Amino acid sequence: MKGTPIFFYVFVMWLLIIAGGALIVPVIAHISIQGFGNLGGILDSIVKAGIAISLVALWILIMSKVKNWIFHKQIRH
């Protein structure tokens, strides 16, 4: 099928979006850093933002690898 690779790409993209939401909402949102006084809230936000940015970078890397795999597969045929 001619359009199958794009559907696979979109399927992987949605799986990553759902997995990211499933990870961020129940796990990362409940991280709480205490013991630093007034800096606790800021440090808490910095850690959560760092984790979220790292996940976005990981998702972009994964999607890039999937895209390259699809294009290389199409070029070989």
7-62 pLDDT tens trace: 888 888 888 888 888 888 888 888 888 887 888 888 988 998 998 899 889 988 98
Total domains in the chain come to 1
What does pTM read for this prediction? 0.72
Q: Range of 23's domain?
A: 4-76
Per the model's pLDDT, the better-predicted residue between 14 and 77 turns out to be 14
10 Å CB burial of residue 36 (0-12, 13-18, 19+) is: exposed
Contact 44, 32 (CB under 8 A): yes
Amino acid at 14: W
Q: Looking at residue 50, what is its pLDDT?
A: 92
